[in-house]
Amino acid sequence: MMKVQLKDIAHGRCGDKSDTSNICIYARKPQYYKAMEKQLTADAVRRHFEGLVFGDVVRYDVPQLDGFNFVMHHALDGGATRSLRLDTLGKCMEAALLRMYIEIDDE
């Protein structure tokens, strides 16, 4: 087993609606999907964003695309019109999640 950052085996997209952030993560190769399925849980994502996300994190599996959609509530400090954060729309949250480490089989 070896430890890698998600950015090395996956790519993503993100969006927002008010105080909710949405991040989609897709495996670059089908063989990475199983490792991501086991380790990229809603709880793991919540812990990764500790101090930034204050609500529930829900994971929706999208196996047809080898990916996952994470919906994170109370994640944007009130949303674009209320937040004093530099990234009021949460566009950097995808990049932040891609810095998370998981273990994959040695290649």
> Residue 90: what pLDDT?
56
> Residue 106: what pLDDT?
81
List Cβ neighbours of 17 (8 Å cut-off, separation of 6 or more): none
Q: Position of tokens 């609500």?
A: 55
> Residue 83: what pLDDT?
54
Q: Which whole number is the average pLDDT over 16-30?
A: 91
> Residue 84: what pLDDT?
44
- Going by their DSSP bridges, the two strands 67-72 and 57-62 should be labelled as antiparallel
> Residue 18: what pLDDT?
80
Render pLDDT for 33-92 as a digit per residue (tens, 0 to 9): 999 999 999 999 999 999 989 999 999 999 999 999 999 998 876 656 555 454 555 567
Partners of 17 in beta bridges: 20
- Which amino acid appears at position 99 of this protein? R
Beta carbons of 92 and 75 less than 8 angstroms apart:
no
> Residue 17: what pLDDT?
80
CATH topology for 2-100? Alpha-Beta Plaits (3.30.70)
Report which of 105, 106, 100 is spatially closest to residue 7, judged by C-alpha positions.
100
Query: What is the pTM for the complete model shown?
Result: 0.88
